[in-house]
Structure 1
Amino acid sequence: MRMTMILMFWLLAATSIKAQELKGKVTGQPDNNPLIGASIHIVQTKQTLITDQTGNFVTPIAKGNYTLEISYVGFVGQTLNINVPLTKPLELTLWPQTTQLQEVAVVSNGYQLLNKERNVGSFATLNNSVLNEQVGTNILNRLEFIANGVTADRSTSAGTGGLMVRGLSTMRGVKSPLIVLDNFPYEGDPNNINPNDVESITILKDAVAASIWGAKAGNGVIVITTKRARYKAPLKVDFNSNVTLGAEIDLSDYPQMATADFIEVERMLYGKGFYTSQINAVAKTAVSPVVELLMKRTAGTITENELNEAIAKLATKDVRDDFSNYFYQHPLNQQYALSLSAGQANYNWNLAAGYDHNTNQLAAGYQKLNLRFNNTFRPLKNLEINAGLVYTKSSTKSGKPGYGDVTSKSGTLYPYASFADEDGNALPIIKDYRMSYLATAGNGKLLDWKYYPLTDYQNNNTTGDLQDIIINLNANYKLLNTLRLGIQYQHQQQKTSSEQLATIDSYMARDMINRFTQINATTGAVTYRVPKGGVLSLGNADQNASNLRTQLNYDEQFNEHQLTGIVGAELRDNVNESNSDRLYGYDPATLAYSSVDQATPYPTFITGGSS
């Protein structure tokens, strides 16, 4: 009886000290949709939770009283006092910040201008002054922080920079919103649009967008209207400059298993035979340094003390330190914009130029030049003609590898990897093949087959160039006071090119050359099926889109009533062409390269299998 009472007391005590759960869901009004990426900060524990794709959050927490601070971009924050344990999951609701959106008397849906109070459906409008509260290089990055219902998805490839209107679509296919620029769908890279040239933006969020633009508006529509000059206006000059120095990323915020725990798991798995298939693989599949040490101990080439000393040294390493020390830096963004405009009684014009020069936290470069000219004139009282030209040129350059970019054969990098020794000299890490095998492969007749992340990015560079031209021609004729005829034409041409040069010192080139190298067992003669030299990969893409629209607009006021209607026709043509090429044995100094027989399969050096 006494033993039973003691056991019951122990169970009650264990239950009373068990950690509780803090869980709940954050939604946004007025449509009660889940808010993805909302922040819940626990003041007492200084812990911050982020909601998942369904707006939910959960974390273990001890009993007690807590203060929660709930926040989400574009919504009014909320502070809540709670007592744990909870009787039921929290249901948290945030309301939009109405002060962030400026009142715009007239808004555009891409086909017509309507008074705001006559627009049906869910939409948001922003003007240039609101956009200028942010200093992002492109228009989409600025929208993320100032527009209600617009978020950036950082975890999935949602397209258009991961921008989403009213959450992530669950349908297969394109998940990005439709971009409409000056009344026509924009087929180019949204990064080309100069945010300093934008006059206003209308975001169409619900089914009304699909009724206007069809199925391609299923993920919402972002209607962008660029600036125009005014009639009878004096010369106006605007100059805007932004220079932003960002904070360096703190990789300690990224969750990673402790190195000592990771090694313990490896030792446990090795003891259970988990790595046996990799160890016995003919392809000499890569295994981690700890597994190689365990293999040496099993073979008797090192003692137990030597094994433990080597593992203890590795347990002190954290690869995030090397990433921070050698790869990451403070990002620097520079943006300059100049605009001139003027107008007379029957003529106005606008000229704008923009230049961006950015270097991100991994030293990747981005430069962009925007030029835009627009003029409007009235040759007749009821006729207005507008012509515009937009030119964009941008270039990109690859930088250093970031956390998660350096991988091994298994896809993940062991946390005790080191990129440099105490003197700063590059160290190799496990990539595709076992380090013990590479030490003797080819008896010195192969190229160095090791992978050095610290210097490899210097020998493997990717650059990209883009040129985009948009021509707009519009004519509007006032037939009657209530009837207008409009003809609009737009042509867009975008050319992109990319170049990746992996020199002979890069791992990519050395691995490709070694894999197909043949060494005569009798004479020792070496035959390179892939020529010694660099590998140059080239890509080009051309896009030509033309739009022609004829539209009749009717608008008449009847006392307190108003009747509005449009009828028209539209022709659209969009042609995309692309090609790619790869040159082997490339020498950037002489521009020479060698031919490769790609029709004949050759045996690989390690397995002898054809590829």
Structure 2
Amino acid sequence: MNKKLALLSLSLLMAGGAVAQNTATGQMIGHVSDPDGQPVARAAVKVGERVVAVTDKNGNFTLTKLPAGTRSVTISYIGMKSIKTSVSSTMNVTMEWDNANLDEVMVVAYGTAKKSSFTGSAATIKADDINKLQVANPVEGLKGRVAGVQIYSNSGRPDGGTPTIRIRGISSINAGNDPLIIVDGAPYPGDLSSINQQDIETFSVLKDAASAALYGARGANGVIIITTKRTRSHHGARVTFDAKWGVNQVAQQRYETVRDAAGYYEAYHRALRNESLYENLNAQNNYQLGDEKAAYEFANKNMQERLGYLTYTVPDGQNLVLENGKLNPAATLGRVVKGKDASGKPFDYTITPDDWYELAYRPALRQEYNLNVAKGNDNSNIYFSMGYLDNKGILQNTDFKRITSRLKADWNAKDWLNFNTNITYTNSQSHNVEGEGDANSSGSIFGLVNNIAPIYPAYLRDGKGNIMVDNMGFTRYDYGKKGYLPMNRPFLSYSNPLSDNALNYNGENTHTLNANVGADVLLGKGFKFVTNNTLYLISSRGENLSNPYYGQSAESSKGFVSVGSDLRVRHNFQQLLNYTRTFAGIHNVEALVGHEYYRSKSYSLSGTRTNLVDHKNHELGGGLENGTPSSSAGLYNTEGWFARANYSLFDRYFASASFRRDASSRFHPDHRWGNFWSLSGAWIISKESFFNVKWVDELKLKASYGEQGNDGIKDYLYTTTYTFKNSNGKLALVPRLLGNEKISWEKNGNFNVGVEFSLFKGRLSGQVEVFNRSTHDMLSTYSLPRSYGFTSFYDNLGNMSNRGVEVELNAELVRTSKFSWSVGVNFTHYKNQITSIPDQKKLKEYEGHKGYESGNFFYGEGLPMWTRFLYRSAGVDEKTGEMTYYTWAYRYDLTKPKMVKDANGKEVQQLDRWGEPVYEILKKKVTDANGKVEEVPVAKDRLTKTTLASEASYFLGKDPHPDLYGGFNTRLTYAGFDLGIDFSFQLGGHILDKDYANLMNGLSGEFGGSAVHKDALTKTWSPTNRHAKYPRLQAGTALSTNSSADVDTYYVSASFLSLNNINFGYTVPKEFLYRYAKGQVQNLRLYVSADNVHYWSARKGLDPRQSVSTTKQVQYSPVRTISGGLTLTF
């Protein structure tokens, strides 16, 4: 049994149950101390599983009553080895620290393994580390905790979103890079937010071929195994209740924008003045500025027209901004304008700015309750749990509610036969908003609140300044379109996502059933047969309604309602035959052969209707006009036969081999099967007789190599598909996708070598591993000319590598019975590189690298994935304040010094009659097609500058991948108090801060209305700041058409430091519970916790934790949760 899990289970039982009435008489005393002679307080003294005494602060205990026939007691304490001692009148016990790290039992592919004999690369995270976090998606708990694992949180939605997980880099351009998720032995195809993290016992992360090759088809990107809790054999029932309450807050740091109306009007007025001043600033007029007075009048004349709204009342005959650039002190915020009411009659409105960001976000309540019951005996064990999570979103009208239940049981029907079942049901309801992640959507509330100028009203207000309400009780919103008001808002005109969020509906209700039934059959002579059969079923219904009263859809179609239903059914069948035998006491043999079949079916049906009758009716019957219905079905199968053999000699030398033959329905039958394998070995050198280093407890060397597969592409890509279309009443086939029957498995060769160690009696432990993942036959798209009728097809093209090193260190700085302090750190360095691209895809060349463009990235040989092509800044022109870019303008001939002999016959460079050196054109010999040899000049492109982005040349951006990433943590315990702090970090790498670029150019363009960063007022060029990094502040199109956000000026460091979690708790002493709870409460812990506390990056607002390539201010803000709770064990 895993010793750490055993100690955890024992600690939860310290408070004990009632002592049996049939007792023996007599008094016995004892004393418990640690190896340093210090007393051990609150150690549990047990008879069987019953706690009969607890040591006091001096390490003493007294036994006055013991069950009849008791001959021994067991003394246990967290972090120490349990000791069984005979009962006597006086007992003095010295406990030992538990340093047996290599004796831990790990969950691995299709079974378990002792860490000492495991030859692969894997990491295990225990329940205690995960359950203290307040997250909807439990995989978020791996951040910074496992070497080699990167997690990017794409969204702060209440349901947790779908984080991006990468293990040891990226292995493919177009195929999947996500790890395989295994839950209790079977592939888990669902959303991990449907799993209650309180049910999780361990996470195991498999990183190399030796650990993951047995999963063959889908293990190329690593494997994450989630093992849920089960009952250990013990008498009586254990009931645990956990409750926590918290507050969700906005964790996203806002860019430092101008947030007051006065400051924005001043800034835009200045930009307008500069438009006039610098309109003709060029070499032709000797860089002469325009007239200051004319520029001031130009700004006054154009301000309201460009911005649409003027929300200040200015005395007659005066201007809003004075000639000194400051707001007129006589101006008052709020302005009454003449408009029309719903009937078209004149009506007074008050326009005054609102803080859209503050209106969108608010603190929100998070509450979670979990109850589990565990009971077991020698023949059966049962674990039952229920959980409820209500997670309100920080964005109004967004939330996530989840009810979970799990029943896990096993029954020893015979000595040779065991049945087990694991059934989980989850119901979740989520409400989200439209437009997340879409920077171009007018309905994106995230894009609007982060980028709208602080001068616009969100609501319609009457002449007295009161927010208006219509006759149905709806709050009236300002959509920025001329109608009720006599003005337009140029920024996202005719949209108001705040109104959409309040009046529209976007919800999903999901039912998830995951059921497993299995049996273990002992066949004798070391053989055991295991069968596991898993059904995963998910049924979801989504409803999306856009109201018929306000907004673009109300005007165009009188609102719409869309309803969609999805059903996914997954079956997984496993049959395993295990063999375990020890020969001559020194040869340990383990073997496994197995078969697995996975089948996935999916069905979807959706429909839309417009012209709504009632905004409260979310069914299609609420619309009068039909839309276009659609349906689809999908099928995906895999089948595999596999085997593994493990051998150990003297528990010192270890060897392992595995093989799997897999088939995937995503490939043509002729290319469906693939072979995957691994070989590995390990040597515990510290067990050798010649190894006599006292401060080394354990030292283990290991190495592995293997090949894994990846079929992470869409279905049916091996066959050509068409779409039916009605063409003037006749059936037409429209080409959809060109198939390729020859595509097959993407293969991943994985080499790993490492060392594991424990030093100084367990005070320092860790491991160092070097890895090389080499992908070949990458599944990738190949572009086709339009004349083919298809745009692209898939093929096995190109190779890629990820080489790196991982380090994990854990230290116990202080370790006594009263106080402990430990720290841990892990970090990973790796380099990703595309090593080969087929000639037919080498369509362009940048800086000597041949490859092809896709989106904003260049995929070329010798380059890492996600390499951007960017304009390269040549700095700001000190005379004009315009951004200049490098460009390859024309070719020129290379030259060399022309040499002549002087009077002494020595070669010297020739000088002309003015004494200047003479050069001659450098030439080279070439042979033409006819074999004629001639000399031609050696030419090269000349690098020059331009102020026009349209004329600039692209250059390659720096490596986006970090030089180092990882995490560190510390744990402290003292007198029942415990404190844990977790960080994650990233050093190096680059990210395009496009949000910052847009804010720096927020005042440019034909019209205004976009937010502007404060740096645009202080760090841009001006006649008094000619060495600025950023171009001059200017409205209009003259400068904006010459600028670009895709310039390396905004390609910045992606380094960050993130404080992920602080958890502080107090465990009530056992003596107190015994005294006041009469032995009914075994354990009580009170705690407070803060998650996603803070982060530091290159600039405020930039969050590299969300993406590897660019900023994400159009995503749901990350959430900080501060909570408190209690855990009770009965």
The normalised TM-score by structure 1 is: 0.64
Tell me what 1:406 maps to: 445
Q: 1:458 to 1:229 in 2, by over 3 A?
A: same
The letter for the 2-side match of 1:546 is H
Please point out which of 385, 396, 399 is paired with 1:365: 399
Indicate how the Cα distance of structure 1 residues 398 and 596 shifts in structure 2: closer, same or farther if over 3 A, else same: same
Deviation at 1:549, TM superposition (A): 0.9
Q: Which residue of 2 aligns with 1:494?
A: 538
Q: Aligned to 1:383, which of 417, 420, 425? A: 417
The offset of 1:254, in angstroms, is 2.4
Choose 400-409 or 477-486, whichever is displaced more: 400-409
Report the CA distance shift for 1:213/1:325 in structure 2 as closer, same or farther (over 3 A).
same
Query: What are the Cα deviations for residues 135-179 of structure 1, in whole angstroms up to 9, with x where unaligned?
Result: 323311222254444333146999842233345666334333221
Distance 2:506 2:411 in 1: 45
Contact map agreement 2:355 2:454 (CA 8 A) in 1: no
Equivalent pairs: percent with the same residue?
Answer: 21
- Quote the Cα distance in structure 2 between the aligned partners of 1:185 and 1:290: 63
Q: Distance in 2 between matches of 1:270 and 1:481?
A: 94
Of residues 221, 224, 238 in structure 1, which corresponds to 2:226? 224
**3-state SS of paired residue (1:246):** strand
Secondary structure, in 3 states, of the residue corresponding to 1:595? strand
The separation in 1 between residues aligned to 2:224 and 2:402, in whole angstroms, is 22
Residues 572-611 of structure 1 aligned to structure 2 (within 5 Å): 572-588=598-614, 591-596=621-626
Give 3-state SS (helix, strand or coil) of 2:427's partner: strand
The structural deviation recorded for 1:568 is 1.2
Following superposition of structure 1 onto structure 2, how do residues 58-207 of structure 1 map, counting pairs within 5 Å? 105-144=104-143, 146-154=145-153, 160-167=162-169, 171-207=173-209
1:106 is displaced (CA, Å) by: 1.2
| C-alpha contact 2:445 2:498 (8 A) present in aligned 1 | no
SS at match of 1:191: helix
- Of the three residues 502, 506, 514, the one matched with 1:470 is 514
Cα 1:483–1:402 shift into 2, 3 Å: closer
* CA positional deviation for 1:185: 0.7
For structure 1, the residue ranges without an aligned partner over 5 or more in a row are 1-98, 274-288, 298-302, 442-448, 514-531, 602-611
Asked if structure 2 preserves the Cα contact closer than 8 Å seen for 1:104 and 1:125, the reply is no
CA distance in structure 2 between the aligned counterparts of 1:248 and 1:546, rounded to whole angstroms:
40
In 1, Cα distance between the equivalents of 2:195 and 2:526? Answer: 34
Find 2:427's aligned residue among 362, 379, 393.
Answer: 393
Task: State how far apart, in whole Å, the 1-side matches of 2:137 and 2:169 are.
Answer: 21
Deviations 1:5-48 (CA, angstroms, capped at 9, x unpaired): xxxxxxxxxxxxxxxxxxxxxxxxxxxxxxxxxxxxxxxxxxxx
Cα distance, 1:382–1:503 mapped onto 2, change above 3 Å: same
Amino acid at match of 1:339: N
SS in 1 for 2:174: coil
Greater relative contact order (Cα 8 A, min sep 6): structure 1 or 2? 2
Provide the secondary structure at the position in 1 that maps to 2:128. helix
Indicate if the aligned counterparts of 1:294 and 1:307 stay in contact, CA closer than 8 A: no
Aligned equivalents of 1:270, 1:509: Cα separation in 2: 40
Aligned-partner Cα distance in 2 for 1:407–1:262: 23
Q: Look at both structures and tell me which one has the larger radius of gyration over its CA atoms.
A: 2
**Could you tell me whether the CA contact under 8 Å between 1:502 and 1:508 is conserved in 2?**
no
For 1:41-100, what per-residue CA distance to the aligned partner results, in whole angstroms no more than 9, with x for missing partners? Answer: xxxxxxxxxxxxxxxxxxxxxxxxxxxxxxxxxxxxxxxxxxxxxxxxxxxxxxxxxx9x
Question: Secondary structure of 2:548's match?
Answer: coil
**Higher share in strand:** 2
**What code does the residue aligned with 1:535 have?**
F
**Could you state the TM-score of these two structures normalised by the residue count of structure 2?**
0.36
Correspondence for 1:17:
none
After TM superposition, the structure 1 = structure 2 runs for residues 267-416 of structure 1, keeping only pairs within 5 Å, are 293-294=305-306, 322-363=355-396, 364-398=398-432, 405-406=444-445, 413-414=452-453, 416=455
Distance in 1 (alpha carbons) for counterparts of 2:353 and 2:107: 48
CA displacement at 1:501 relative to structure 2: 1.4
Question: Amino acid of the residue matched to residue 458 of structure 2?
Answer: F
Where do 1:552-567 residues align within 5 Å? 552-558=577-583, 559-567=585-593
Deviations 1:418-464 (A, max 9, x none): 3246645555354xxxx4589799xxxxxxx9434443321111111
Which one-letter code corresponds to 2:404 in the other structure? N
What residue number does 2:953 align with? Answer: none
Structure 1 residues 222 and 536, CA gap change in structure 2 (3 angstroms): same
Structure 1 position 400, deviation (Å): 10
The alpha-carbon deviation at position 576 of structure 1 amounts to 1.1
Seen in structure 2, the aligned counterparts of structure 1 residues 496 and 272 have a Cα distance that, compared at 3 Å, is farther
Q: Is the 8 A contact 1:407 1:413 kept in 2?
A: no
For 2:543 and 2:210, locate their aligned partners in 1 and report how far apart those are by CA, in whole Å.
43
Distance of aligned partners of 1:270 and 1:438 in 2 relative to their CA distance in 1, 3 Å threshold: farther
SS at match of 1:505: coil
Give 3-state SS (helix, strand or coil) of 1:118's partner: coil
Please point out which of 508, 515, 526 is paired with 1:482. 526
Offset of residue 267 of structure 1: 7.2
Supply the distance in 2 between the matched residues of 1:472 and 1:561 (Cα, whole angstroms): 35
Worse-matched range after superposition: 470-479 or 262-271: 262-271
C-alpha separation in 2, matches of 1:209 and 1:266: 64
Letter in 2 for 1:595: E
Partner of 1:39: none
Compare 153-162 and 499-508 and name the one that shifted more.
153-162
Query: Which sits farther off after the overlay, 474-483 or 168-177?
Result: 168-177
Shift of 1:394: 0.3
Alignment CA distance shift 1:535-1:400 (3 Å): closer
Secondary structure of 2:116's counterpart equals: helix
The residue number in structure 2 matching 1:281 is none
Aligned partners of 2:500 and 2:546 also within 8 Å:
no
Structure 1 residues 254 and 415, CA gap change in structure 2 (3 angstroms): same
Q: Structure 2 matches for 1:249-264, cutoff 5 A? A: 249=251, 253-256=254-257, 259=264, 261=267
Q: CA RMSD in A?
A: 4.3
Three-state SS of the structure 1 residue aligned to 2:579 is strand
Instruction: Please show how residues 418-497 of structure 1 align to structure 2 within 5 Å.
Output: 418-420=457-459, 423-424=466-467, 428-430=478-480, 435-436=481-482, 450-497=494-541
Query: What is the rounded CA distance, in whole Å, between the counterparts of 1:159 and 1:239 in structure 2?
Result: 27
Q: Do the aligned partners of 1:536 and 1:586 also contact (CA within 8 Å) in 2?
A: yes
SS class of match (1:236): strand
Q: How many residues were matched structurally?
A: 450
Partners in 1 of 2:271 and 2:209 — Cα distance? Answer: 52
The Cα of 1:123 is off from its aligned counterpart by 1.5
Going from structure 1 to structure 2, the CA distance change for 1:477 and 1:159 (only over 3 Å counts) comes to same
- Is 2:242–2:370's contact at 8 Å kept on the other side of the alignment? yes
Query: What secondary structure, in the 3-state scheme, does the structure 1 residue paired with 2:372 have?
Result: strand
For 2:429, the aligned partner's letter is: S
- The answer to whether the 8 A contact 2:423-2:515 is kept is yes
1:365 counterpart letter in structure 2:
D
> Hey, what's the Cα distance between the residues in 1 that align with 2:268 and 2:199?
52
2:540 and 2:566 in contact (8 A); partners too: yes
Who is 2:576 aligned against?
A: 551
Which ranges of structure 2 fall in alignment gaps of 5 or more residues? Answer: 1-97, 280-300, 310-315, 335-351, 469-475, 488-492, 629-725, 729-1130
Q: Which amino acid aligns with 2:562?
A: S
Structure 2 distance, partners of 1:292, 1:176, is 51
Following superposition, the deviation at residue 416 of structure 1 comes to: 4.1
Structure with the largest fraction of helix: 1
* Deviation digits for residues 314-364 of structure 1 (CA, Å, limit 9, x no counterpart): 9999x9971343121113221111111212332221111011001121131
Which one-letter code corresponds to 2:358 in the other structure? N
Distance in 2 (alpha carbons) for counterparts of 1:408 and 1:438: 25
CA change 1:406–1:235 in 2 (3 A) is closer
Worse overlay, 123-132 or 465-474: 123-132
How far did 1:184 drift?
Answer: 0.8
Question: Which letter does structure 2 place at the counterpart of 1:570?
Answer: E
